[in-house]
Amino acid sequence: MKLSYRVYWLPKAGLSADEYEDAFAPEQVAEGDLQEFRCAVSDGATETSFSGQWARILCKAYNEKNFDLAQLQADWLKEVSGKDLPWYAEQKMESGAYASICGLSLHDEAGALSWTVRAFGDSCLFQIRDGKIIKALPIDKWEAFDYTPLLISTSQPANKGILEKQHHELGTCQKGDIFYLMTDAISKWLLRRESESQSGLKSIEQVSDAEGFQKLVDTERHERDDKGRPFMPNDDVTWIRVQL
């Protein structure tokens, strides 16, 4: 199995790269013939403390097949403990960090190509063939995005029963298929543009570098519908593109 892999990401408008709270893995892929390939995106919840660190830990764990949630929680606590924080930030940290994650695994078994996805929350996978979305999960309609997605927490009590709630799905694929992994703001944008004008895929497939991605995101954050809503919410955005 040979593939191409690209990642584009941006923080919220007006913020610096240091304030980016999404995450992805891996950063790059060595060329070669692979039997298995894994990648993931995660969106750290802005209203919780050190969520960007938690998102990075989750992506790395998925990519390394080491998703021991108790150990990951301990890793996060070790990473953020000992920081000099005001009392209110300390109190917020004690409540834990939260993040979504969507992980994709591609498999080549004697030339038979397949995929597996595990997802928590509203980061999404899209499978694209012949210029059309043939699979979108765990959300397939832009109107279904809300403010209370299922998120993984660094707090053990908050995660009670969460592993049973993950979206786990398998499917087949073929040479030429394209997969997107996207965090919520750009996932919602893509589904909306495809639903209303079938322009989302055409627009994003024209992106070939970071400058082009910045231009697209800036445009869509400022473009408004007839109710004054931006087509792309002002949030961190991450897009992984994998083509077989």
pLDDT at 207: 97
DSSP string, 183-211: -HHHHHHHHHHHHHHS-HHHHHTT--SHH
For β-strands 98-109 and 36-44, DSSP reports them as: antiparallel
Tokens, residue 18: 């240091």
One digit per residue, the tens of pLDDT, for the chain of length 244 reads 899 999 999 999 999 999 999 999 999 887 778 899 999 999 998 777 789 999 999 999 999 998 889 999 999 888 887 666 554 555 556 678 999 999 999 999 988 999 999 999 999 999 999 999 999 999 999 999 988 888 999 988 888 888 888 999 999 999 999 999 999 999 999 999 999 999 999 999 999 999 999 999 999 999 998 888 899 999 999 999 999 9
- Return the H-helix or E-strand segment holding 34: none
User: In sequence order, which residues have a C-beta less than 8 Å from that of residue 124 and are 6 or more positions away?
Assistant: 102, 136, 137, 138, 139, 180, 181, 182, 184, 187
Assigned architecture for domain 4-243: 4-Layer Sandwich (3.60)
Residue for token digits 């660190």?
53
What is d(CA 180, CA 159) in angstroms, rounded to the nearest whole number? 27
Tokens, residue 134: 């043939």
Domains in the chain: boundaries: 4-243
pLDDT at 72: 93
Task: Give me the residues paired with residue 140 across strands.
Answer: none
Name the DSSP class of 230. Answer: B
Q: How many Cβ atoms from other residues are within 10 Å of residue 214's Cβ? A: 13
pLDDT at 90: 56
pLDDT at 91: 55
pLDDT at 94: 62
- Supply angle C-alpha 78, 15, 96, rounded to 5: 30
